[in-house]
């Protein structure tokens, strides 16, 4: 009990630290001026190496938030935390720029609500399983610093600068129920965050010129949800005989189908809007007039519905291979504060995982490493012209490894993992702005089988 209490206290502290870190801006991307910003996917470092398995991936030691039905496959408690580093090259027909970013990516705790040790002690296996997850993940982020220059006859050059920053995050509580080969699950969560957008307009080449300043600061909050289901068909197990005539059970082949999705989510926005006229006197900007001011402006926003489906074929803990398809109805997006014309988007991905021998002795460590590879192609709901026929595209190849840590069985510290994945990709419109990037994800999975363990004494 003391062990669980310490772990729970540590989790609360880590979540509060995570909320502080997540609140910091994490983007430097001109495209985030459009729509709701860059949208983050609900996948961790290991799963990001094989993005085509998000709908179907299930594992006894690691969490998959994308499909909430997967948590009932957990056999041990799993605490996951991760971060990323990204190098990005921006290229227009006239210029290039290089950007480095990085931040915390996620915090999550997954629990099997029936401890497998209890079943072993009682020598009675339950026909169903329950799983639960608690997580804090980023949902969207904006971050840009842009300048636009226009020339008007009789007036001269007018310069407009645009600056934006902010992020939204999800706190999710998930539950899953599994009976035989079928499982269902649901994530219920709270979306929160803040976005800030500024704009300056001024004439270039004038002394003591007037400048118009616009500021929108918006707080975002609301409840979100998604559901999922998994069905696993297990082919008959083959039996072979060794040289002495003893039976050897071969690994089983499994075919898994997964679905997940949600309808549109309605959220609330609270904004403060101000428009000022300022005058440049020497090197100092002086407020001259307040053109408009609106405080505590209440609005609504509609986030899109989503539907995803996937198929995975696996050979027990030896290998997995599969693909996903996801559709997001961004054409239904609306925002009273910052309207945008967006289009429906889709994503197609594939992924694979290979473990030479998952139960090999640790002296043969390379046989226990999880090797992963994948890739995806998706369309973005945004476009430079606002026309769905010119949507941006995003494509990437992914790869990674899962490195198991040797357990300390004397102190009951079981197998945990370090997950490393990389992503090479391109994004955007080459005729407008193309982004080429490399992203490195690092995640830690800490496992424990003492949660909900009933101790018995003679």
Residue with tokens 């226009």: 150
CA 382 to chain centre: 19
Question: For residues 215 and 293, what is the distance between their CA atoms, to the nearest angstrom?
Answer: 10
Question: For residues 406 and 118, what is the distance between their CA atoms, to the nearest angstrom?
Answer: 24
Are 435 and 427 spatial neighbours (Cβ–Cβ below 8 Å)?
Answer: yes
The pLDDT value recorded for residue 121 is 53
3-state SS class at 8: helix
pLDDT for residue 259 is more than 90: yes
Mention every residue, 6+ apart, whose C-beta is less than 8 A from residue 245. Answer: none
pLDDT for residue 18 is more than 60: no
Mean pLDDT of 450-454: 58
The pLDDT value recorded for residue 279 is 75
Question: For residues 58 and 312, what is the distance between their CA atoms, to the nearest angstrom?
Answer: 10
pLDDT in tens, 386-430: 666 678 899 999 999 999 987 655 555 566 899 999 999 999 887
Burial of 440 (0-12, 13-18, 19+ CB in 10 A): middle
DSSP state of 22: H
The model's pTM is: 0.85
Label the pairing between strands 182-203 and 334-335.
unpaired
Question: For residues 372 and 374, what is the distance between their CA atoms, to the nearest angstrom?
Answer: 7
Provide the residue ranges of all domains of the chain, joining segments of one domain with +.
Answer: 2-448
User: Which percentage of the chain shows pLDDT scores above 90?
Assistant: 52
Are 448 and 76 spatial neighbours (Cβ–Cβ below 8 Å)?
Answer: yes
Give the CATH architecture of domain 2-448: Beta Barrel (2.40)
Burial of 237 (0-12, 13-18, 19+ CB in 10 A): exposed
Are 72 and 131 spatial neighbours (Cβ–Cβ below 8 Å)?
Answer: yes
CA angle 253, 45, 131 (to 5 degrees): 60
Q: Which residue has the higher pLDDT, 431 or 105?
A: 105
Neighbours of 136 (CB within 10 A): 22
pLDDT in tens, 328-369: 999 999 999 888 889 999 999 999 999 998 888 888 889 999
Q: Is 166 left (phi over 0), alpha (psi -120 to 50) or beta?
A: left
The pLDDT value recorded for residue 4 is 44
Residue with tokens 């898994």: 256
Nearest-Å Rg of the Cα atoms of the chain is 26
């Amino acid at each position: 009990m003391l062990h669980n209490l310490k772990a729970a206290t540590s989790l609360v502290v880590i979540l509060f630290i995570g909320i502080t870190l997540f609140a910091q801006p994490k983007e430097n991307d001109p495209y985030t001026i459009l729509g709701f910003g860059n949208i983050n996917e609900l996948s961790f470092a290991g799963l990001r190496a094989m993005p085509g398995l998000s709908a179907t991936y299930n594992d006894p030691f690691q969490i998959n938030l994308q499909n909430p039905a997967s948590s009932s496959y957990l056999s041990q408690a799993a605490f996951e935390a991760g971060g990323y580093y990204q190098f990005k090259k921006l290229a227009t027909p006239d210029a290039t720029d290089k950007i480095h970013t990085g931040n915390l990516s996620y915090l999550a705790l997954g629990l099997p609500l029936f401890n497998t040790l209890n079943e072993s002690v009682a020598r009675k296996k339950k026909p169903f399983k329950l799983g639960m997850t608690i997580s804090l993940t980023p949902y969207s982020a904006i971050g840009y610093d842009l300048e636009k220059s226009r020339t008007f006859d009789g007036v001269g050059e007018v310069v407009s600068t645009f600056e934006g920053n902010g992020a939204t995050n999800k706190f999710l509580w998930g539950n899953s129920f599994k009976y035989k080969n079928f499982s269902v699950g649901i994530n219920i969560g709270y979306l929160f965050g803040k976005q800030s957008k500024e704009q300056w307009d001024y004439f270039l080449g004038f002394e003591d010129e007037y400048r118009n300043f616009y500021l929108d600061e918006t707080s975002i909050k609301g409840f979100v949800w998604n559901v999922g289901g998994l069905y696993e068909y297990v082919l008959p197990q083959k039996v072979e005989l060794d040289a002495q005539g003893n039976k050897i059970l071969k690994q089983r082949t499994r075919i898994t189908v997964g679905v997940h999705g949600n309808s549109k989510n309605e959220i609330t926005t609270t904004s403060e809007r101000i428009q000022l006229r300022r005058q440049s006197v020497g090197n100092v900007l002086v407020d001259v007039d307040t053109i408009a001011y609106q405080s505590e402006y209440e609005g609504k926003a509609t986030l899109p519905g989503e539907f995803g489906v996937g198929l995975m074929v696996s050979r027990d803990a030896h290998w997995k291979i599969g693909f996903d398809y996801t559709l997001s109805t961004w054409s239904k997006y609306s925002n009273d504060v910052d309207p945008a014309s967006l289009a429906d988007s889709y994503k197609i991905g594939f992924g694979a995982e290979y473990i030479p021998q998952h139960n090999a002795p640790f002296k043969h460590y390379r046989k226990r490493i999880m090797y992963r590879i994948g890739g995806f192609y998706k369309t973005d709901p945004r476009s430079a012209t606002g026309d769905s026929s010119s949507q941006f595209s995003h494509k990437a190849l992914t790869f990674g490894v899962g490195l198991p840590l040797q357990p300390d069985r004397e102190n009951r510290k079981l197998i945990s993992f370090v997950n490393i994945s990389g992503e090479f990709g391109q994004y955007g419109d080459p005729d407008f702005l193309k982004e080429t990037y490399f992203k490195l994800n690092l995640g830690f999975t800490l496992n424990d089988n003492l949660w909900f363990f009933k101790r018995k004494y003679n």
